[in-house]
Structure 1
Amino acid sequence: MTRGVRTLFVALTVAVSLLVTGTVMALTLGGVGNADGNGTGPQALADPGDPAHWTPQRMSRAKPRDPRADEGPPAPIAPPSPSGAPTGRGPLPDIVAEAKPPPVRADEVPRPYSGNTGTIAVGKLFFEAPDGPSACSGTVVADPKYPGRSNLVWTAGHCVHAGRGGTWFTSMQFVPAFNSSGQATLDNLGNPGPVAPFGQWWATSMATSDQWRAGGTNTSSPATAYDYAVVEVRNPDRSARSLEEVVGHAVPVWFDAPRDLARASAYGYPQDPPYDGLRMYGCTQDPRRMTVDPGVPPLLRIGCSMTAGASGGGWYANGPDGPLRLIGNSALSGAGHTWIAGPYLGQDARRMLENLKRKR
C-alpha cells in the first residue's frame, strides 16, 4: 500500500468517527472547477490536490444536498408491503398517475451490497460546493463507448453544479459500495478498508444538462426535469483497471423507458435524521408522474421516506430483457419526506452522455 493510499485510509477512518458521533462526513481530493455557471459541455477537472485539505473540522461541516418541493405538513409513513413489491397494474388514469403516491418507509439494504441486485454499483459522492463540503449518492453505469470497462457514475445535476447563477462543484470523489461491510461503527474504526472496499475514485470530468445549469434551483422548477449528471472517474492507484472492472458491475442506462412500469426501486445514502449516512436504503413502488411545469417532461415519483443525502442515487427497473437498468435518479423530495422524485431519462439525457463521450 502506497503512502498516499494509507493517508487516505486514515482520513476516511477519522471522517467515519466524526459521522457516527453526530456529524456528517465528506471525503474528497482537491480539484479545479470552472466558475462559469453558464458554460456548455462537460467540465474537465485537474488532478486531485493535497489530501490534507480534508481536515476533521472540514469533514464535520459536510452537508447533504437535496432540493425540496414546497408542500404541507408531514404525512404518516406506512410500512412496505410484506413482499416489498407492488402488484402489477396497467396504465393508470391521468388523475391517479399524477396523484401523490402512498408513503413508503425506506428499507435498509442488506449487507454486503450485492451485484445480483445492483446495489454494489451504488456509492457516495463527496465534493466541495460554494457553501462547503457536501455529499450525494451515485451509481456506476455502463459506458457504451467502453463495454465492460466503464468509469462513469450517474448522479443528480445538483450534485455537480449549483444551477442558475452558480458554479461547478470541485474536489469530487466517488466511494462505491460505501460501508458494504457495515464496519463503519464505533465498535470497529481500526480497519477502514471495508468502509471503502473498492477505493476512493477521483473525478476527472463531469457533465449535466444545459437546462439544469441555466435554471436549476433549490426547489421544484422546470429545470428539475433535467436534474441529472454523469461523472467520469479514474482509478486511485492510477492503474488501467476501470471502475466497472474493480466493482464488478455497472448498470445500463435505459433511456425512454416506459412510463407505466409496475415497479421501480430507488437507492441511496440518506443522511438527515433519522438516518446517519452510513447505510444504504431503498424504496420500491410503482412510479407515478409529477408535473413541475407543463412545458417540460413530468418527473417520476414514488413514495419513500429517504432524506437528504439520497439525492443522485439510482432508480432501477427490470429491462425488457430481464436485467436491471437505470431509469432515473433521485432529485427532489417532499418537505415531509413521504416521497421522492427524479427526472425521466429521455433523449436530452442521452445527448448529455453522448456529449461527455465525444470529449474523451
Structure 2
Amino acid sequence: MSHASITTNDRTRCSSRIRNGVKLAGGAAFALTLSLSSAGLAGADPITRPGMDRTTLSDSAQDEAVEYWTEERMEEATPADELVEDKGAAPAEVERDSEHLKVPAVSPSDLPQTAAETVPGSGDVAGTDHIGKVFFTVGGADYVCSGNSVASTNGSTVSTAGHCTSSGGAWATNWVFAPGYDHGETPHGLWAATEIVSTDQWVSSEDINYDLAFAKVQSDTATGTLAETVGASGIAFNEERGLEYSAYGYPAQSPFDGEGMEQCHGTASDDTLGGTQSQGIDCDMTGGSSGGPWFIGGDAGGYQNSVNSFGYKTQANVMYGPYFGDEAKQAYQEAEVA
C-alpha cells in the first residue's frame, strides 16, 4: 500500500536554495522527492541486502586531484546538495542483524589529536584532526562536503555521505579529503581517493536510506597512512536506535561560512515525517555539513555511527542521518581492505 509522496513544501535539505523534496545537508538544494511506502515503516519485511558499487582512481587521477584543488577553488566550491535530481526513492527497511561491529579508534603515531569542545545543542568547536572537508567535481562543477577518518585495516578510510561521492549514477572526480581544515588552512594536506565504495541503492537510485560512502585515500610518503597522521575514529554498526549523538561538520550556508567546524548534540528519534529509516537529532547545521560524522555520546571521541544526510523544511533544526546497519557495514568492510 503506497502513501503519498512528500511534497516540495514538506522535505528539504540543509541549504538556503531549495527546489524539491528532501534537502541534503551538503548545501545548495538537492532535489530528491521520496515516495513513501509501507516498506519504510517498522515491522515491514526486510529488503534483499543490496550490493555495493565502487570506483577506482588511477595514480595519475589521484595526483591531478591534489593539484586541482587550489585555495581559490576550495573557497568557491559549492555545498553538494544541488546534485540530486527529483526521484521517487521508496523508503525501505534498512537491514539489521544481531552481529554488532565495533572497530576501536586509532591515535596518530606522531601528531597529537586536538580534543573538540562539547556543548549542548549546536556550536562552534575547536578543530579535530581526523574530521575535515571533502572536495570533489561532478558534471564539471566543484563541490564541498564533510568527512571523517575512521579506523580500518588499511589505515586510510574516510567516511562521508553518498551524495558526496556520486550523482545520477556518475562517480565524482578530483575527490580529496582535507583533514583538520580550519579557516582556509589544510594543516595535514589533501588526501586523494584511490577507491570509493557506496551502496548500489544510493549509486543506482539515490535512495536516501543508503546515503553513505567510504573512500580509501592514498598514503603520505612522509607521515604514513591517514590514521598514522591524524588518527581515526572508532566506528560501529547495528547499534540500537535512539542513542545520544554528537554530530560534526562544516556548514557553509547562512548563518555559517564553512570555515570552521560546528557541532550538534542530541538524542536520535525516528523519521515520523517522511517514514525513512534515518534518525534525526536537534541540529541547525546548514549546507556543507553533509557527510560529517555522528558519534555515539557527547564528543568526537565516541564511535562513529552515522553521517549528516538531510533535513525537512518543516523541521528547520533537525538533521537526519542514515542507520548504519548491514549495508553500511558491508560498504565499510569493502573500503577498509581496498
Return the letter of the residue paired with 1:258: E
Measure how far apart 1:243 and its partner are.
Answer: 0.6
How far apart, in 1, do the equivalents of 2:222 and 2:70 lie? 27
Correspondence 1:332-343 to 2 at 5 A:
332-335=310-313, 337-343=316-322
Alignment partner of 1:172 is 2:175: yes
Q: Could you tell me which of 51, 56, 62 is aligned with 1:44?
A: 56
Return the letter of the residue paired with 2:141: G
Measure how far apart 1:53 and its partner are.
Answer: 4.1
CA-to-aligned-CA distance 1:190-229 (integer Å, 9 cap, x gap):
xxxxx2122211111111111101111xxxxxx1111000
Measure how far apart 1:57 and its partner are.
Answer: 6.6
Alignment partner of 1:206 is 2:200: no
Residue in structure 1 matched with residue 163 of structure 2 by the alignment: 158
Residue in structure 1 matched with residue 279 of structure 2 by the alignment: 300
Cα 1:42/1:280, change in 2 over 3 Å = same
Cα 1:202/1:52, change in 2 over 3 Å = closer
Alignment partner of 1:244 is 2:227: yes
Residue in structure 2 matched with residue 126 of structure 1 by the alignment: 135
Measure how far apart 1:84 and its partner are.
Answer: 3.6
How far apart, in 2, do the equivalents of 1:327 and 1:154 lie? 10
Secondary structure class of the residue paired with 1:120: coil
Alignment partner of 1:276 is 2:254: no
How far apart, in 1, do the equivalents of 2:325 and 2:148 lie? 18
How far apart, in 2, do the equivalents of 1:279 and 1:213 lie? 30
Alignment partner of 1:234 is 2:218: yes
Residue in structure 1 matched with residue 271 of structure 2 by the alignment: 290
Contact 2:250 2:289 in 1 (8 A): yes
Cα 1:259/1:234, change in 2 over 3 Å = same
Report the TM-score, using the length of structure 2 for normalisation. Answer: 0.67
Return the letter of the residue paired with 1:353: Y
Cα 1:314/1:60, change in 2 over 3 Å = closer
How far apart, in 2, do the equivalents of 1:209 and 1:326 lie? 18
How far apart, in 1, do the equivalents of 2:234 and 2:72 lie? 38
Measure how far apart 1:292 and its partner are.
Answer: 7.3
Which blocks of at least 5 consecutive residues in structure 2 are unaligned?
1-50, 87-117
Cα 1:198/1:57, change in 2 over 3 Å = closer
Secondary structure class of the residue paired with 2:166: coil
Matched-pair identity in %: 32
Secondary structure class of the residue paired with 1:251: coil
How far apart, in 2, do the equivalents of 1:49 and 1:350 lie? 29
Alignment partner of 1:316 is 2:295: yes
Measure how far apart 1:274 and its partner are.
Answer: 1.4
Cα 1:291/1:356, change in 2 over 3 Å = farther
RMSD of aligned Cα (Å): 2.8
Which blocks of at least 5 consecutive residues in structure 1 are unaligned?
1-38, 71-82, 86-103, 114-118, 185-194, 217-222
Cα 1:323/1:176, change in 2 over 3 Å = closer
Contact 1:307 1:333 in 2 (8 A): no
Q: Could you tell me which of 136, 150, 157 is aligned with 2:145?
A: 136
Return the letter of the residue paired with 1:215: S
How far apart, in 1, do the equivalents of 2:245 and 2:323 lie? 12
Return the letter of the residue paired with 1:199: G
Alignment partner of 1:108 is 2:121: no
Return the letter of the residue paired with 2:245: A
Cα 1:293/1:136, change in 2 over 3 Å = same
Alignment partner of 1:257 is 2:239: yes
Secondary structure class of the residue paired with 1:41: strand
Secondary structure class of the residue paired with 2:237: coil
Measure how far apart 1:303 and its partner are.
Answer: 1.4
- How many residue pairs match? The answer is 250
Cα 1:228/1:197, change in 2 over 3 Å = same
Return the letter of the residue paired with 2:78: K
Alignment partner of 1:62 is 2:77: yes
Contact 2:156 2:336 in 1 (8 A): no
Cα 1:291/1:167, change in 2 over 3 Å = farther
Cα 1:239/1:41, change in 2 over 3 Å = farther
Contact 2:57 2:194 in 1 (8 A): yes
Cα 1:52/1:313, change in 2 over 3 Å = closer
